[in-house]
Amino acid sequence: MAVMIERNTPIPISKTKKFTTVDDNQTSILFKVLEGERVKLADLNILGQFRLENLPPAPSGALDV
């Protein structure tokens, strides 16, 4: 889990962050978009999710997404 937009950040905002694959030959990544500041996932609100697909198979950590 990674914080993308800090609390009280003025909007609109544009931000970029790189992620890598965690498994060998991983071809997709599921991103869940959450709001809240709690540590436990169950205490956060799910705003939506999206999946990046058709990533080229590679060793874990080799792809920057």
pLDDT at residue 13, as a whole number: 92
Q: pTM for the full model?
A: 0.73
Is the pLDDT at 65 greater than 80? The verdict is no
Q: Which long-range contacts (CB under 8 A, 24 or more apart) does 21-25 make?
A: 21/55, 21/58, 21/60, 21/61, 21/62, 21/63, 21/65, 22/60, 22/61, 23/60, 24/57, 24/58, 24/59, 24/60, 25/57, 25/58, 25/59
Local confidence band at 1 (pLDDT 50, 70, 90 cut-offs): confident
pLDDT digits (tens, 9 = 90+) for 5-58: 888 999 999 989 888 888 999 999 999 999 988 888 889 999 999 999 998 988
Domains of the chain: 1-65 (2.60.34.10)
